[in-house]
Chains A and B, each alone.
Chain A
């Protein structure tokens, strides 16, 4: 602990020296300017489609203030001419919209209608009494569905007067003109409140609690679907500063790697873990300060904010540590940083967009943050689901980091795949090969999971049927590579020599992989849904057969690689994958 603090102290003084004098002033000035412009944008409202449509309006048409539209005021005759010449996308003549049949004009109509609908609602809200302008209110109740009904009493219990059935009596609406007696209804307040939200909605929206909650009253024309913008904003408020801090961390780490200061540290009686933690600590402290600051500024719960964002921070730092350990040039680092940033942001933001809509959104800790700011509570299971993967990644990376932290690895110039192979070889404990290979198979599962998710994203670019087939093939290849990587690096380094040992190791890697795969499913599905899935995952037939498959395919890959030499690793993987694909296709066929 003392060593860690000493290294941290050095790191702080180094950063302080670098950001002293004029450069500190310049950076502060730039930061300040940035804050001011962010504030101004926030208050102006954001229109991404600025000036996208050009429209003509007649003198008696409503005033259009939306920034998406360039408005040209003309008389109807000129307006129609401009419309025909395609100078304008549409023409608003009084309360009529004139447009062309082509696609651009149609999109403009769509956009304008959305805008005008809002304006019209505000107009009638001002012009008429509340219960004439918004005559329909719908109260939402929940019913327990047929599948989850376990002898529970139905949830609607309040006495309901059974309406006497009066079939085929035509409806008798109150006649137009004769305004009904004004009886202030309880739901008027709701209408008022939703109208206010509508009025504000060209600014950035407020957080809305669940899409619809029990007993909420909805007014169809004022119903707003959940807007993912808030999630994106929270993400950026937290992630961008964390990203900046971690970029400092990597830059400093790489710099000391290049000028060999880290190597010098290695010869002192400080452990590798202490070096890494010591260099990381100041930046972790800065990040925690940032998290606390932002949570306070947003008026959130600080403890909860820390609980949610510390794992995110550790996750970001571990990714950046890997980048810093692996690469020696800045250009590579820049790219991997950008790649890491975009992937992490997407990983956090995309599931959170479905917060309150879909349970699966809990795989992102940002969902928890959204819930926190909405004032909705979440369970410990959800917290575990969202953050455990991040903690695990951090621990894994710290472990790998201390294993590969030596001069040869840090200073060596090698292509990426050779670096990965070297790291893997260093991670495997040569004295306990069997256990190491088994654990490697287990812990590589999250990497495989993420890689397969990414391949799904890429595959979304091609037609569905061919994408499905391609995905089956690709995931088989990814899994075969993942299971046999450990054996490959052992063979490359001549650490195993006998065919029998290779077969045993391959089988162990396959077992580890299967355990990891099932554990992942167990936790993910166990938290997310009822036990129906559990029996499916652990059903007797479904466990032995995949085990056999995984073992057979991995042993084949290992054996072929050993026979033909590591140069033939890829063909060997393809043979293993072919077995895997045939199996998968049969399983799918059985389900169809």
Chain B
């Protein structure tokens, strides 16, 4: 046991010396902050109303219509300024003078279908924002026309909160932050193992009075230790940012369990191939495949973290415990084959 701790200290020191964990944290921080910038963009697309909430964009719409159309009041409800024009040339004139930003031509409604014309400015950003902001009032008007046709869309009256941010944070950002450390830990394992092969230091280690099991246990625990540090740090930081992880007592152990499984897989791969080139390649493919394949599971690591972090009631300790089974299996398999794989080198 004593040798194990000596070896563990050696591994941890090398990780600290190479500042790997610092880099890991910087990368994740970078990804996380970039994602939040993307989020603002994505939100604006998926959820036009968020533009109205976050930015105080107001613009003027010139409406050309013969009747006192209901669309006008819908536009005003959406805090859009409306100006009326008797005909299109007058509206165009106002557009060119910069008095209105867009023009809507509402025809006389004779038949069931209303064919409107919308004149947008050519400027990219402006036309996008105008179109997104007009969409709400236009939808209301469309529903109103439907109702005059005797058609009703159900479930329109209750208004929930926009779920885009919430879903993005809990099903993308949090799982990435909780599982990315595992990916890096696996890489660390491959690097330390293949480094021993390429620098031929396994020879010295094998002849030293330590068992192979202790060597690998120390390497793996050093890698997993980096995961523990990062995962705890992220959950604390997220909480500080007002984004609490609901069941921390389950999420953190679960992330560590997954990391350990990944590390075992990485160790087996690197012992089999023995050089970094092939090991890292196979490892990344296996990882991509694992992430993809786990999608078919009902409680994949990704979605289990999502559900635990969001506090979904029907998952809990049992689902987490299920992942101990593959952990134990792969751990046993690893310690069975490790000696054979190392000796295959000589």
Residues of A near any B CB (own CB < 8 A): 18-19, 23, 26-27, 30-31, 33-34, 37-38, 40-41, 44, 46, 48-54, 68, 70, 86-87, 95-97, 99, 103-104, 106-114, 116-117, 120-121, 124, 127-128, 131-146, 148-149, 154, 156, 160, 162-177, 179-181, 183, 185, 187, 211-212, 218-221, 223, 225-228, 240, 244, 247-248, 251-252, 255, 258, 329-332, 334-336, 338-339, 342-343, 346, 350, 353-354, 356-359, 454, 457-458, 460-461
Known: A52-B167, A173-B148, A330-B195. A139 touches B115 (CB 8 A): yes
For the complex, is B23 an interface residue (Cβ under 8 Å from A)? Answer: yes
A111-B167, A113-B158, A136-B145 given as contacts; is B68 within 8 A of A169 (CB)?
A: yes
- Contact yes or no, B46 A225, CB < 8 A: yes
Given A26-B282, A135-B142, A460-B36, verify A162-B88 contact (CB < 8 Å).
Answer: yes
| Residues on the B chain within 8 Å of A255, using CB | 198, 275-277
Q: Please tell me if the beta carbons of A143 and B120 are within 8 angstroms of each other in the complex.
A: yes
How far is A342 from B23 in the complex, measured between Cα atoms in Å? 13
Nearest 5 A/B pairs, CB to CB: A109-B160, A180-B112, A110-B160, A220-B138, A251-B277
Establish whether residues A18 and B172, one from each chain, have CB atoms under 8 Å apart when the complex forms: no
- The interface residues of chain A lying within 8 Å CB-to-CB of B20 are 331-332, 335
B118: contacting residue among A135, A141, A356, CB under 8 A? A141
A187 to B277 Cα, complex, angstroms: 58
What are 11 A-B contacts defined by CB distance under 8 Å?
A23-B278, A87-B313, A133-B151, A146-B98, A162-B87, A179-B112, A247-B284, A252-B277, A255-B277, A331-B18, A346-B34
Asked if residues A139 and B170 are in contact (CB atoms below 8 Å), the reply is no
Q: Bound complex: CA of A132 vs CA of B36, how far in Å?
A: 42
Interface segment among B211-219, B251-259, B290-298, B326-334: the answer is B290-298
Q: Could you say which of A248, A330, A460 has the most chain B C-beta atoms within 10 Å of its C-beta? A: A330
Determine whether the beta carbon of A121 is less than 8 Å from that of B120: no
We find that the number of chain B residues with CB closer than 8 angstroms to chain A is: 125
CB–CB A120/B155 < 8 A: yes
Bound CA–CA A284/B31 (angstroms):
28
- Give A138 Cβ to nearest chain B Cβ, in Å: 5
Q: Shortest beta-carbon distance, A1 to chain B, in Å? A: 27
Most chain B CB within 10 A, of A31, A220, A356, is at A220
Of the listed stretches B1-9, B202-210, B303-311, B335-343, name the one at the interface; the rest are far from the partner chain: B303-311
Q: How far is the CB of B346 from chain A (nearest CB, A)?
A: 18
Q: For the complex, is B141 an interface residue (Cβ under 8 Å from A)?
A: yes
B317 CB-CB contact with A under 8 Å? no
The answer for the CA separation of A185 and B171 in the assembled complex, in Å, is 43
Query: Are B108's CB and A163's CB within 8 A?
Result: yes
A457 and B37 contacting across the interface, CB-CB below 8 Å: yes
Query: How far apart are the CA atoms of A172 and B113 in the complex, in Å?
Result: 14
In the bound complex, residues from chain B placing their C-beta under 8 Å from that of A332 are 18, 20
Chain A residues whose CB sits within 8 angstroms of the CB of B151 once the complex forms = 124, 127-128, 132-133
Q: How many Å from the CB of A14 to the closest CB on chain B?
A: 10
Candidates A110, A165, A181, A358; contact of B124 at CB < 8 Å: A358
Interface residues of B, dominant DSSP: helix
> Whole-angstrom distance from the CB of B177 to the nearest CB of chain A?
13
Give the shortest distance, in Å, between A257 (CB) and chain B (any CB): 12
Indicate whether A52 sits within 8 Å of B310 (C-beta atoms), given known contacts A143-B119, A170-B67, A461-B33: yes
- Please tell me which one of the listed residues B116, B188, B300 contacts residue A139 in the complex, with CB atoms under 8 A apart: B116
* B235 contact set on A, CB distance < 8 A: none
**Contact call A176/B33, Cβ cutoff below 8 A:** no
A175: chain B residues within 8 A (beta carbon) = 148
For A359, the chain B residues whose CB sits under 8 A away are 124
**Docked-complex contact A165 and B86, CB < 8 angstroms:** yes
CA of A44 to CA of B295, assembled, Å? 10
Closest beta carbon of chain B to A41's beta carbon, Å: 6
- Selected interface stretch from B53-61, B75-83, B127-135: B127-135
- Residues of B within 8 Å of A331, CB to CB, are 14-15, 18, 20, 188, 191-192, 195
Which residues in chain B, 104-129, are within 8 Å of chain A measured between CB atoms? Answer: 107-109, 111-125, 127-128
Q: Which single member of A135, A220, A356 contacts B113 (CB below 8 Å)?
A: A135
Inter-subunit contact B288/A220 (CB<8 Å): no
User: Which residue of A41, A134, A162 is within 8 Å of B295 (Cβ)?
Assistant: A41
Tell me the bound Cα distance from A95 to B45 in angstroms: 28
CB distance B27 to A111 under 8 Å? no
Residues of B contacting A120 with CB < 8 Å? 153-155
Q: B residues within 8 A CB of A116? A: 154-155
Interchain CB contact (< 8 A) of B142 among A139, A220, A251:
A220
Whether the pair A180, B111 counts as a contact (CB closer than 8 A) is: yes
Partner of A354, one of B41, B147, B156: B41
Chain A residues near B88 (CB, 8 Å)?
156, 160, 162
9 additional A-B pairs beyond A104-B311, A154-B92, beta carbons within 8 Å, are A49-B170, A52-B306, A107-B161, A111-B163, A140-B120, A154-B96, A185-B115, A255-B276, A338-B184
Question: Could you say which of A34, A176, A227 contacts B149, with CB atoms under 8 Å apart?
Answer: A176
Say yes or no for B24: interface residue by CB 8 A criterion: yes
Closest beta carbon of chain A to B138's beta carbon, Å? 4
Complex contact A174–B148 (CB within 8 A): yes
Q: State whether B92 touches A136 (Cβ < 8 A).
A: no
Residues of B within 8 A of A219 (CB): 142
Any A CB within 8 A of the CB of B97: yes
Pairwise interchain contact A353-B41, C-beta atoms closer than 8 A: yes
Distance, CA A156 to CA B119, complexed state (A): 9
Q: How far is the CA of A478 from the CA of B203 in the complex (A)?
A: 47
- Least CB distance from A229 to B in Å reads 10
Whether B201 sits at the interface, judged by CB under 8 Å, is: no
A228-B122 contact in complex given A99-B160, A174-B148, A331-B191, C-beta closer than 8 Å: no
Residues of chain B lying within 8 A (CB to CB) of residue A167:
68
CA distance A31 to B307 in the complex (A): 31
Judged by a CB distance under 8 angstroms, whether B230 is at the interface is no
Instruction: Indicate whether B345 reaches chain A with its CB closer than 8 angstroms.
Output: no
Contact status B292-A37, CB under 8 Å: yes
CA distance A173 to B71 in the complex (A): 13
Name the A residues within 8 Å of B295 (CB-CB): 41, 46
B220 on interface, CB distance cutoff 8 Å:
no
- CA distance in complex: A466, B276 (Å): 45
User: In whole angstroms, what is the CA distance A146 to B64 when docked?
Assistant: 19
Does B114 contact A136, Cβ atoms closer than 8 Å? yes
Question: Contacts A132-B112, A141-B119: A170 and B96 contacting too (C-beta < 8 A)?
Answer: no
Nearest CB in chain A to that of B128: its residue:
A357
B289 within 8 Å of A by Cβ? yes
Q: A169-B68, A457-B37, A458-B33 are in contact. Are A37 and B293 (CB under 8 A)?
A: yes
Q: Return B273 CB to nearest CB of chain A, in Å.
A: 6
Partner pick for B67 among A18, A41, A160, A171, CB 8 A cutoff: A171
Residues of B within 8 A of A180 (CB): 111-112, 149
Q: Are A54 and B313 in contact (CB under 8 A)?
A: yes
Q: Which of A52, A169, A176, A457 contacts B171 (CB 8 A)?
A: A52
